Structures are given as C-alpha cells and as structure tokens.
Amino acid sequence: MTTIPAGRHQYILSLIEENGTVNVGGLAEELSVSELTIRRDLDQLAKKGLVERTHGGATARRNLPIEPDYLQKASEFPLEKAAIGAAVAKMVEEGDTLYINSGSTTLEVIRCVAALGKKLTIVTNNIDAPWLCKEFEHIRLILAGGVYRPRSHSVSGSLSSLLVSEVYANKAIIGVDGFSPTAGLTTPILEEAETTRAMIEHTVGKVIVVAASNKIGVVSNFKTISLDRVDVLVTDKKGGQLMDQIETPEGLTIVIADMQE
C-alpha cells in the first residue's frame, strides 16, 4: 500500500464512489494513520469540492466540481439562489434569446432555464455555462469571448463587447454585487461592468436583475447602469422586505422568489 497522501486520497475517493460514505475511524484503522490525518485528508478533498464533509466522515458529492473559492461563494445562499433561479425560469418563453452575465446566482439561473426543455438561445460570459448546457440539444449557447478571469469564472472586457455588439437579445438576466436606488447596479470589476452594460444596451426586451438580500442596498465599485433601465428585480423574501423600506423607482416590478415552493 502506498504511504503517500495522494494515494490515500485516491483510495478514499474510490471508497466514497463505491459506498457513498466513509467514516474517519474506519479509514484511520484501515490505512494505519491517525484519525487526525484522515480528517485533514477529508478536509482537503472537501476543499477541492470532491467530497462533502460531514460529522464523522464524508459523503459523495453530486454537483459540479468547480473552483473552491467560487464553490464557497456559490454555496453562500444556496436556497435563495435556487429559488431565484426557479422564479426567473418562469419568465422565460420558448424561442427567447437571453443575455445572462456571470456570477453564482446567474449560473443557477442558467441551470434552471436550461432544465426547462424550451428552445432557447443563451448568450453569456460565464465560463461554466458550457458545462451546464453540454447535454441540452435545445439550448443554443453562445459564449462571449474576451480575457479570462479565473476568480469570477468569466470572460470580460472590450473584446467581449465586440461580440455583444453584434447580438440582440429580447431579455437580459443580470446578476449584480450591488443594487442601490441611488447608485444603481454596481460590480467590483470594471471589465465585468463594461460587459454587463453592453449586454443591457443590446437587449430590446425586459431587463431582469437577480439579487439576493445581501446585495440589496449595497454599492460596489463600478457602476453598470442606473435603475431606470431595470424592469424586474427578482430577490428573496428578506430582499423584498428591504425593498419595502426603500422608495422603489417607477416601473420596477419586484418579484419575491418563494423558497418553500
């Protein structure tokens, strides 16, 4: 038996693949190392997104294997994001061409929208979108080009706008880092803001902004557009309460995504 960490990791993964779960004590005995070492192994595998850590062991993970820090962000408000994704999916109609920008919330939107089974064209700068859509014949996916940004799993910048300037969509689904009545939509990355703005400018129909409650009232670094171009805000229950306290602009529809549903 190999005595190197990587060998243990492989073995643990194969065991999880087979049984669905593993427990710390059993592995420690079987591999003749301390339980502490096993815990560290499992933590490392969990950080890579290969297993799901549980009390006393680990279980198989079904979702995408994606980057740890991104994974963490993606699982920040999983229920809220899933609810928002489902709510947006209801607004999409057969034949739509959708602009969808990058972000963990909009990735969830892509997942829900693609699962509808409707014929759609999705134009996005999210690098994970191909992975989600690879099996769906009914989705025509157009990826924006541009400079790759690992941290945000996206491409952006002026080269992205080049493609966007040639495509017109009838709906835009936009995730933001800040949603504020005064500052409008804001993001922490200049290039992302530019690409998102280009998307909105080339949308002839409704602009739908998705934002969980932790984005409401927040102002990030770079402005995308002001709120008057936004038609619909899809948020969670808590976000709806926050919006009640704010003076909502004219013509903005607020949709509360129900998590119980």
Partner DNA sequence: TGACATTTGAATGTTTATGATTGTATTATA
Partner DNA sequence: TATAATACAATCATAAACATTCAAATGTCA
Contacts with DNA, residue ranges (CB under 7 A): 3-5, 8, 23-25, 33-37, 39-41, 43, 53-57
What, of its own copies, DNA, none, does residue 166 touch, CB below 5 to 8 Å by kind? its own copies
User: Which structure tokens are listed for 17?
Assistant: 């693949």
What, of DNA, its own copies, none, does residue 39 touch, CB below 5 to 8 Å by kind? DNA
Options 107, 163, 174, 230; binder of its own copies; rule CB under 8 A:
163
Q: How far is the CB of 17 from its own copies (least distance, A)?
A: 13
Based on CB atoms, which residue is closest to its own copies, 136 or 242?
136
Based on CB atoms, which residue is closest to its own copies, 64 or 115?
64
Rounded-to-integer distance, Cα 67 and Cα 16, Å: 20
The residue with tokens 């804001």 is 186
DSSP state string for 198-244: HHHHTEEEEEEEE--GGGBT---SEE---GGG--EEEE-HHHHHHHH
Q: How far is the CB of 188 from its own copies (least distance, A)?
A: 19
* Residue 51, strand partner residues: 60
Kindly report the number of other CB atoms within 10 A of residue 213's CB atom: 19
User: Which structure tokens are listed for 15?
Assistant: 């065991």
Rounded-to-integer distance, Cα 74 and Cα 97, Å: 25
AA identity, residue 40:
R
Kindly report the number of other CB atoms within 10 A of residue 121's CB atom: 16
Footprint of its own copies on 37-96 (CB under 8 A): 52, 54-59, 64-65, 67
Options 38, 144, 172, 209; binder of its own copies; rule CB under 8 A:
144
Residues that bind its own copies (CB under 8 A): 2-7, 10, 19-23, 25-26, 52, 54-59, 64-65, 67, 127, 129-131, 133-135, 140-148, 150, 153, 155, 159-160, 162-163, 166-167
